[in-house]
Structure 1
Amino acid sequence: MQSSTEKESNYNNLDQKSIAEILKDINYEDKTVAVSVSKAMPQIEKLAEVITGRMKAGGRLFYIGAGTSGRLGVVDASECPPTFGVPFDLVVGIIAGGDGAIRKAVEFAEDDAEQAWKDLSAYDITDKDVVVGIAASGTTPYVIGGLKAANQNKIATGCVVCNSGSPVAAEANYPVEVVTGPEFLTGSTRMKAGTAQKLVLNMLTTTVMIQLGKVKGNKMVDMQLSNDKLIDRGVKMVMSETGIDYPTAADLLNTHGSVRKAADFYHQNK
């Protein structure tokens, strides 16, 4: 049975369309992605609950994937430390073929069903952790093998796939299936499927980090102050939390190193 992500595009003669027509059609298809994600909300909630519980108990989150899916996992994982101030190894993105595959495709890396567990084992993975496989098709051997091995080692497993009834979903304890249908460009799952996966990963880590107390109100109070823009944002957040002026807030932030610590110090000593 042909997967829906591999089905013929609903559009033809793309090479004969104008720029305006191409953009309009891509945008129309993109509008369907959020609707597809909304249908998977109960599955997303279950996976988020499991990740939250494991992390509160000292566990970590691992993403495994190949190609675009692997890159999306790496991106989401790498953005957690600067956004939420968590250790770099709390959320880990692993891509088939190693970090070099982030920039340049590694031939046949996704076809090795044994490698994902080897990659996970390098992090001393335990049954406190969660492994989430990311695969648009839901058929990637690298991901299937990794989830299967994780299950054998009593590790909670989830997935984000874009077809229903896939082998990857069958291996996951907590599958998330966002059925995005045919791509505008036949089989190009970096498009709608990739967008859907990005949305789900954003939802998972943002929800989990809020549950872990890494957000106050609607502010990233634990974010890393790694450039001038973020420092300015941090100063304004301290101002919002305390009511003090910009120079005073800047001094507090510089002294204490985080929005949370600066605001807490102010409230404890005013």
Structure 2
Amino acid sequence: MHHPPTETRNPRTTGIDRLDALGVLRLINAEDALVPAAVAAALPVLARAVDAAVDALRADRTVHYVGAGSSGRYAVLDAAELPPTYGLEPGRIRVHLAGGQAALTTAAEGAEDSEPAGRAALADATAGDVVIGLAASGRTPYVAGALTAGRAAGATTVLVSSDPRAPLADLADLHVCVETGPEAITGSTRMKAGTAQKLVLHGFSTAVMVRLGRTWSNLMTDVAAGNRKLTARKTTLLGQASGAGPEACRAALTATGGDLKAALVLLLAGTGPAEAREALAAGGGTVRGALDVLRPAAARRCPGDAAHARPPARPQP
């Protein structure tokens, strides 16, 4: 019988129960330090998953995260941050957690054993969707059911696991395998394998948002101002991107009705609110595309370099 690497015994930590607190923490930290290199090795396959998701979202399809236990909870956390951070519309990335919402705070270990429940969760998947199954062991039945349903619907299927011999790999078009090896505490996949899944999800979703044009350079252009901190961040982002002072940034936001992308185009290109909006529409809704429409040289220069920014124009009514 095949045993996943995450469930084998770690020879480096067999004496962990004899150490003091600092010693235990150092051992755990040493194991955690192995994760980034393991994730780096999986990036070429992850990049293909990013490309598939970008294509799906551009075509008004859906990206599905599927997981049980810790894996599913990491998926919920990742997806929940995308609307406020990148303005992603609700329902574009859907999370299917074995056991439902109650499993967020209460262990529902038995829920992961139901392959039919996984199939039912993806019953509305369609061709062109992307289904990402998260299973550290690579064998979770709930994820198997979801991948099976996704493939039958014509979706691109992706497995994220820590087992190069994962049984579910045959159900996936892409296997993002992060070989984290045995855990510090045998079988506790919320440790290295869980950290790897979080890094994969953060990298995946951020790369998708960047590729969709929801940033200008490394600045967020679709941030949802749902509180005072995020409202103030809009003014800060405009200043960082354009070199304009706070007063000019606030005036640009007022002129564009709080539309951060339009305000940024206004400041960078020295145009009025209406022209900025028209350029955004013509440029695919991205700041870089809008600047390509208005003046291509502006899009090619180093973003955020105030020394190259045109002096901000007074916002036109």
Question: Which range moves more in the overlay, 165-174 or 189-198?
Answer: 165-174
The yes-or-no answer on 1:231 pairing with 2:231 is yes
Using CA pairs under 8 Å that are at least 6 residues apart, name the structure with larger relative contact order, 1 or 2. 1
1:39 paired residue among 34, 38, 41: 41
Per the TM alignment, residue 88 of structure 1 is displaced from its structure 2 partner at its CA by 1.8
**Deviations 1:119-166 (CA, angstroms, capped at 9, x unpaired):** 233xx4211211000000011000011101211121110011011111
1:268 partner amino acid:
T
Partner of 1:115: 117
Q: Which moved more, 1:243-252 or 1:61-70?
A: 243-252
* Structure 1 unmatched ranges of 5 or more: none
Contact 2:63 2:130 in 1 (8 A): yes
Question: Structure 2 CA distance, aligned partners of 1:231 and 1:145?
Answer: 42
* Deviation of 1:9 (Å): 2.5
User: Conserved in 1, the CA contact under 8 Å of 2:126 and 2:150?
Assistant: no
Does the Cα contact within 8 Å between 2:125 and 2:149 map onto a contact in 1? no
Which runs of structure 2 are paired with 1:1-270 in the superposition (5 Å)? 1-10=2-11, 11-121=13-123, 124-253=124-253, 256-266=257-267, 267-269=270-272, 270=313
Kindly state the Cα deviation for residue 211 of structure 1 after the two structures are TM-superposed: 1.0
CA–CA distance in structure 2, aligned partners of residues 212 and 260 of structure 1: 14
Give secondary structure in 1 for the equivalent of 2:216.
Answer: coil
Deviation, 1:191, is 0.6
Shift of 1:243: 3.1
Distance 1:256 1:68 in 2: 41
Q: CA deviation at 1:77?
A: 1.0
Q: Contact conserved, 2:125 with 2:153, CA < 8 A, in 1?
A: no
Q: Over aligned residue pairs, what C-alpha RMSD do you find? A: 1.6
> Helix, strand or coil: the match of 2:126?
coil
Opposite residue 62 of structure 2, the aligned amino acid is: R
Percent of aligned positions that are identical: 37
- Determine which structure has more spread, i.e. the larger CA radius of gyration: 2
**Secondary structure of the structure 1 residue equivalent to 2:10:** coil
Code of the residue aligned with 2:6 in structure 1: it is T
Q: What's the CA shift for 1:251?
A: 4.4
The 2-side partners of 1:191 and 1:93 are apart by 22
Q: Do 1:225 and 1:258's aligned partners in 2 also have CA atoms closer than 8 Å?
A: no
Higher mean C-alpha deviation, range 110-119 or range 243-252: 243-252
Contact 2:125-2:150 at 8 Å conserved across structures = no
- Secondary structure of the residue aligned to 1:268 is coil
**In structure 2, what residue type is equivalent to 1:42?**
P
CA distance in 1 between partners of 2:241 and 2:40 (Å): 34
Is the Cα–Cα contact under 8 Å of residues 96 and 109 in structure 1 kept in the other structure? yes
Other structure's SS at 1:256 match: coil
Q: Deviations over 1:214-259 (max 9, x none)?
A: 1111101111112222222221111223333213423443563342
How many residues matched? 268
Amino acid at match of 1:262: A
Corresponding residue of 2:300? none
Measured in 1, the distance between the counterparts of 2:259 and 2:7 equals 47
**TM-score, length of structure 1 as denominator length:** 0.94
The structural deviation recorded for 1:112 is: 0.5
- Partner secondary structure for residue 133 of structure 2: strand
Cα distance per residue 1:2-34 (max 9 Å; x no partner): 110001133123332111101111111111001
Match of 2:307?
Answer: none
Alpha-carbon distance in structure 1 between the residues aligned to 2:205 and 2:171: 22
Aligned AA (2:8): K
What is the TM-score normalised by the length of structure 2?
Answer: 0.80
What SS does the aligned partner of 1:93 have? strand
Instruction: Name the aligned partner's letter for residue 191 of structure 2.
Output: M
